[in-house]
Amino acid sequence: MIRFAFPLAAYLFIPWAVLFLWSLLRQRKINRSLRQLGNERIHWYVLGRVRFSYQVAKKVLFYAGLGLLLAAAMGPKIGTRIVELKRQGVDVLFLLDTSTSMDAQDVKPSRMEKAKYEVGRLITGLQGDRVGMIVFAGTAHLHFPLTSDYAAARLFLNAVDTRLIQTQGTVIAEALELAMKTFDPQSRKFKTMVVLSDGEDHDGRAHEIARAAAEQGIIIHSVGIGSQAGAPIPIDDGTAFKKDRNGRVVTSLLNELVLEELADAGSGTYTRVDNRSGSLAGLLEEILAMEKRVLKSQEFSQYENRYQLFLLPALICFIIELLLPGGSSQVPRPRSRYA
């Protein structure tokens, strides 16, 4: 099958054909006029060396070469080479805390929005890896499964907020258990989790599960969203703040100790995210440096440029046209001494 890189160049054959026909008709007219010039004796002396058939052949060769050049300019491609395309990468599961404490605004514009922004930057920096997301608060749910469609992943990411899970609280252990079930159990490598949270944990089993995951080859990184100074938790669309039983405003603090221990148990790294941009550049380098596996292999026919098939004959036509004489090199001899 043949394809053309510039198919619109085919319109150039219209003026080419017009000029070719006009040139042939004009040459025939000139030849006819020359043959009618004078009587036979004058015609013999004046035009004896002219080869009219050569003149026509030179015209044909010139326009044939020009036509072949136009065909080469169209960029013909022929699908003859089979190429195997392999995509390598790792499986990355983001575990995003969606408890109401993530609405605190000690990190601008809020912990939740900052976490979503950083996850989006991580997805953009990945190179063929599959990504998925688990959201958790009092319970954990698979928000979207592992996929290599980054555009779809961003759409699901944008839909995350603190109202996504009705059961409030922060149970990191449930998110870790769900993540381990989501990964392919037959592979002991090429898997990593990224836990993004403010560090509140109402269960305490997360470290044990993280160690079990590390034994199965799953690396767990943790990202702390918030500040040690903390901030109140807005409610009622930001018109008020969450209070305890005594009526005092609750201040949510970043619990780095929990997240650091989680990363240590999961053989990963801990990173704190603040208001600076590019906080997770080091984490991205860690993921990109992981050993990759073949996630998908495809074979397809690649179209190769074949303009040479037309360019070489065009060059040959021009060379022959240039070397082909327009007549005979022998001078016609007089037919009689009185001529």
Same domain, 287 and 221: yes
Other beta carbons within 10 angstroms of residue 35's beta carbon come to: 11
Q: What is the pLDDT of residue 301?
A: 61
According to DSSP, residue 174 is labeled: H
Element (H, E) at 17: helix 13-35
- As given in the structure block, the two tokens for residue 196 are 């993004």
Cα distance between residue 220 and residue 265, in whole Å: 8
* Residue 266 placed within a domain: yes
- Asked if 137 and 170 count as a contact pair (C-beta separation under 8 A), the reply is yes
Full residue range of the structural domain in which residue 209 is found: 86-297
Among candidate residues 107, 28, 24, the one with its CA nearest the CA of residue 62: 24
Q: How do strand 130-136 and strand 76-89 relate by DSSP bridges?
A: unpaired
Same domain, 90 and 149: yes
Same domain, 71 and 148: no
Same domain, 179 and 139: yes
Q: 304 has which bridge partners? A: 78
Q: What is the pLDDT of residue 77?
A: 82
* Residue 292 placed within a domain: yes
Q: What is the pLDDT of residue 145?
A: 94
Q: What is the pLDDT of residue 289?
A: 87
Q: What is the pLDDT of residue 37?
A: 66
Same domain, 47 and 196: no
Other beta carbons within 10 angstroms of residue 252's beta carbon come to: 23
- As given in the structure block, the two tokens for residue 1 are 């099958």
* Residue 109 placed within a domain: yes
Same domain, 52 and 116: no
Domain holding 241: CATH number?
Answer: 3.40.50.410
267 φ/ψ sector (left φ>0, alpha ψ -120 to 50, else beta): left
Q: What is the pLDDT of residue 121?
A: 93
The series of mean pLDDT values per 10 residues for the chain, 339 residues long, is 82 90 84 69 63 80 90 82 69 94 91 94 90 94 92 94 86 92 80 92 85 92 91 83 86 91 94 82 89 64 78 90 73 54
- Count how many domains the chain has: 2
- Asked if 223 and 169 count as a contact pair (C-beta separation under 8 A), the reply is no
Put simply, whether the predicted model's pTM sits higher than 0.85 gets the answer: no
List phi, psi (to 5°) of 236: 50, 50
* Residue 41 placed within a domain: yes
* Residue 331 placed within a domain: no
Cα distance between residue 95 and residue 93, in whole Å: 6
Same domain, 224 and 91: yes
Same domain, 20 and 153: no
Cα dihedral 281, 283, 287, 289 in deg (nearest 10): 70
* Residue 37 placed within a domain: yes
Same domain, 151 and 239: yes
Mapping DSSP to helix (H, G, I), strand (E, B) and coil, where does residue 140 land?
A: strand
- The angle at the Cα of 92, spanning 192 to 219, to the nearest 5 degrees, equals 5
* Residue 118 placed within a domain: yes
Look at the alpha carbons of 155, 158, 163, 165 in this order and tell me if their dihedral is positive or negative. Answer: positive
Among candidate residues 98, 242, 118, 100, the one with its CA nearest the CA of residue 164: 98
Same domain, 122 and 239: yes
Q: What is the pLDDT of residue 83?
A: 64
Same domain, 54 and 145: no
Looking at 36-110, list the stretches that DSSP marks H as alpha helix, in order from N- to C-terminal side: 40-47, 52-73
Q: How do strand 130-136 and strand 140-147 relate by DSSP bridges?
A: antiparallel
* Residue 329 placed within a domain: no
Same domain, 34 and 57: yes
